[in-house]
Structure 1
Amino acid sequence: MTIKECYEKIGSNYESVLSRFGNEALVKRFALKFLKDPSYAELKEALEARDAERAFRAAHTLKGVCLNLGFDRLYETSAALTEDLRRRDINDSDRLFPELTVRYEQLTEAIRELEAEA
């Protein structure tokens, strides 16, 4: 799988990311680094602990990383969750976190496929 195919698989705009990063090697390098980003795990832990402040920070960080890397679908969901958590009301997170989890798992699965073929 190429990095372009990976972006197509996850429903993201590869050309947009490529234009920001400048070359395919950088896009691939940073996409692979996403697998080590702790934001999702921190968000999950914070939500389980019902810690609204920490959950907001983690969701906001995840949103920014996704925006920078062009992970459009996960960005959309993490942005919506960030806005829900901005009020520090953790109760609304229950409706968006399952969708965010599905999108996160789809994304990381595609990146792992890319990594395996590298």
Structure 2
Amino acid sequence: MDATEATVRQFCKFVFDIRADFHAGIGPRAPIPLIETEARRVSAIITPTISKRSWYGLWHVLKELTAECNGDPVVAALLYLANQCTTAGDALNSGEDEADVRRRLDACVRDVAKRMV
């Protein structure tokens, strides 16, 4: 696993931790701003290492979300991934097979990390 993928996986862990705390009633009342702030922090780490081709590729794939993220496609990709983490958590809570959910989310994480090279 390369450094970018490790950073992306740490971001996913952050999202899952914030979500778990929120649902347990011990976390912040508004977790979304914290996740957005973390996405911007992680973007500041990843963006200097990303190629221009990948940066524009992310922008092209996530045009609308990038526009909502002040033109930062790395933040957009991370927020897309946060949404996938939330969807995976909901799938687990509804009784879907953990191995299947994990496989789908892992494929998504690897894809996003690969696009940030």
Pick the TM interval, shorter chain: 0.3 to 0.5
TM-score by length of 2: 0.35
TM-score by length of 1: 0.35
